[in-house]
Structure 1
């Protein structure tokens, strides 16, 4: 995408967002009392369709949950034409205090032979006594890397590049494309100690194989050494395949009123992983990961008017993990971090990510339409001496929310995001965090 086209696209997106904000504030001026409007009832897309067809409102009382499916269609140089489906199943097990659970996933196939299978689960048992959390992936895939640290690549400036649904749609001369097979199996169980406080354990496995470093050239006449090759050689890792297998210990505190779309509360997660050669890992190491999310109401009249905060930290010791298993953007459980950049754009031995999102209703009374505005920032270190916060990469954007299931509060999310010489379009079921 050229700079002129990018600027035109960005201006159109900003104008769209301004019109959304004017619509919201116009509605807000109608009632400045701060009191809930008892005449307004939350509706979803199905309610509007039934009303248009003059059918009676649906009765979903007693249903265990709801299923949302989203088609995935796109094209980019790395994958060719891409088609698939993504979706989620939101449900609640028996028990007055039981939270909603969520199973989400996607299947994608491309004309260049890539295959992506992803399945995520967060399940609360009866009265929240146990929480099961999982992230399962199998990908025959390709992805570009740019080196380590948020200042990479150091050789020069990037051209504008665009990504669709998190996948690259333009090429950059400084990108270092990789092809590989990737298998991930993360599964944990956390036990309730008191109220919203949990302690748990689990097993994590990341495995890369059949790695092809497309720009690597080792012949003396035309030599080109890539970041992936030089890093793995320096620390003694295979450049074609590697595995990290770990046991983990978790601490969880979760007071959110809804896992799928929280209006209030907080979520705290701390994870310590220890890898041992006994479990198939190349070396012994420890990895620390922590995450915080909180949601704060800005209106007594409408709980959808709120601000949310998201902070993550992912820390490993220098040289103790292979290149592709190092902390990276959009490798969180739901692959949602760092909107405005493609997955894996920033990578390092330590990474900190922060985001804040303002959420507001647009529909005058039904609550079917909503909007968001967000900013984020990423910092990553590298073994060459770059420290955390020496280089920070920002992102920002706006989005539309369409309520497709009021029972579980599931929105269809449509986002436009912009980063440093980068931009993206995102389509997903449920909120980013």
Structure 2
């Protein structure tokens, strides 16, 4: 995401009826009504689709299409909002990808399906492993990447879920390209790797709207084991921790915080190490700018949703810190990396209270730009 700019035409949301009165039956008005206006009745599913445009040095221009389906089980407004999000893109450099994310709640929360899918042909910038890596001249690992991760959770008490988790990750058709001014040792898995992990997750979740949490707590701890007996190329295991809390300051204002951790041991391939950066936490850092077997990250965010003078637009400010280390007892304050930024919000689903977010994260490496539906955490 380094130096990446993503654009969306917010201006369509401010179109008045007088602007389209002359084309009441046109395709344009139908498009506006379906993609901008929230005309669905309470409990009815809602669907949005919109284009994105991006740029980064390693991809050139990127053209994408994002979509989001939100619904409540049995169309019951007392049930939690479920989401299925999709994003597909292609770049002028011939890279492409397809992403899916799901958080699906069953009727009365009996079941909870939480997962993500990724398929992409996309360059991975590699700065090395550890808390101290070169400031510039990363290697470029070009590869096909496939990720399938799903948790199938059963409610055992109100807001408390437990269940199995499966994770499949494959990196293939790889090419490791050294920079002109620096030579890296090729990391484990850089020639291609396939790993299958099985484990379990324990989740506490009392949020009602996972895309815009105004009040609620989410906590997850999970364990995954990867081994040759399961079909993996490498033998390793990991514990993941994710704790989030949101607190209403006023009717429009929310203060939220998150603590996130990855703790791995064994022969971990480079692409499955704990990775700092990305669109969720430590915004502004390229995803994987720093990587190692262990990471602890925190962030805090204040949200105005929306502004007091606007029905559609809001904003956020956020700040975070993170540190990676080869062992848990090797974490040091001198390796803690800071980040911070601001964001603009646009109310895409007024009846569902869901915003489109455009965030700008700032780090010592420069700014990073992100456009997604729903809050970062």
- Report the TM range for the smaller structure's normalisation: 0.7 to 0.9
Work out which of the residue numbers 189, 210, 214 in structure 2 matches 1:263: 214
Matched, 1:79 2:23: no
Aligned to 2:175: 212
Counterpart contact for 2:100–2:117, Cα < 8 Å:
yes
| Alignment gaps of 5+ in structure 1 | 1-5, 7-44, 159-171, 233-237
Matched, 1:407 2:373: no
Counterpart contact for 2:81–2:208, Cα < 8 Å:
no
Aligned to 1:314: 262
Between the aligned partners of 2:177 and 2:13, the Cα distance in structure 1 is 48
Report the number of matched residues: 354
Between the aligned partners of 2:203 and 2:175, the Cα distance in structure 1 is 38
C-alpha displacement at 1:50, in angstroms? Answer: 4.5
Between the aligned partners of 2:274 and 2:332, the Cα distance in structure 1 is 13
Work out which of the residue numbers 359, 363, 370 in structure 2 matches 1:419: 363
Matched, 1:128 2:76: no
The 1:59–1:395 alpha-carbon spacing in structure 2 relative to 1, beyond 3 Å, is closer
TM-score (norm 1): 0.75
Counterpart contact for 2:88–2:98, Cα < 8 Å:
yes
Counterpart contact for 1:291–1:311, Cα < 8 Å:
yes
C-alpha displacement at 1:138, in angstroms? Answer: 0.7
Q: Secondary structure at the match of 1:288?
A: strand
Q: Secondary structure at the match of 1:411?
A: strand
Counterpart contact for 1:149–1:381, Cα < 8 Å:
yes
Matched, 1:118 2:99: yes
Counterpart contact for 1:315–1:351, Cα < 8 Å:
yes
Work out which of the residue numbers 347, 366, 380 in structure 1 matches 2:324: 380
The 1:59–1:181 alpha-carbon spacing in structure 2 relative to 1, beyond 3 Å, is closer
Matched, 1:370 2:350: no
Counterpart contact for 2:285–2:365, Cα < 8 Å:
no
Between the aligned partners of 1:403 and 1:371, the Cα distance in structure 2 is 11
Work out which of the residue numbers 160, 171, 185 in structure 2 matches 1:197: 160
Q: Secondary structure at the match of 1:347?
A: strand
Q: Secondary structure at the match of 1:337?
A: coil
The 1:51–1:363 alpha-carbon spacing in structure 2 relative to 1, beyond 3 Å, is farther
Higher relative contact order (CA 8 A, sep 6+): 1
Aligned to 2:275: 328
Q: How big is each residue's C-alpha offset from its partner over 1:181-230, in whole Å with a ceiling of 9 and x where there is no partner?
A: 1110101110001110011112111111122110079xxxx9x6414x1x
Between the aligned partners of 2:127 and 2:115, the Cα distance in structure 1 is 29
The 1:50–1:202 alpha-carbon spacing in structure 2 relative to 1, beyond 3 Å, is farther
Counterpart contact for 1:148–1:381, Cα < 8 Å:
no
C-alpha displacement at 1:274, in angstroms? Answer: 1.1
| Alignment gaps of 5+ in structure 2 | 4-11, 25-32
Correspondences of 1:157-306 after superposition (within 5 Å):
158=135, 172=136, 174-215=137-178, 225-227=183-185, 229=186, 231-232=187-188, 239-299=190-250, 302=251, 304-306=252-254
The 1:100–1:50 alpha-carbon spacing in structure 2 relative to 1, beyond 3 Å, is farther
Per residue, is there more strand in 1 or in 2? Answer: 2
Counterpart contact for 2:262–2:294, Cα < 8 Å:
yes
Aligned to 2:7: none
Counterpart contact for 1:47–1:58, Cα < 8 Å:
no
Q: How big is each residue's C-alpha offset from its partner over 1:340-360, in whole Å with a ceiling of 9 and x where there is no partner?
A: 111211211101111100012
Structure of larger gyration radius: 1
In angstroms, what is the RMSD of aligned CA positions?
2.8
Between the aligned partners of 2:38 and 2:56, the Cα distance in structure 1 is 41
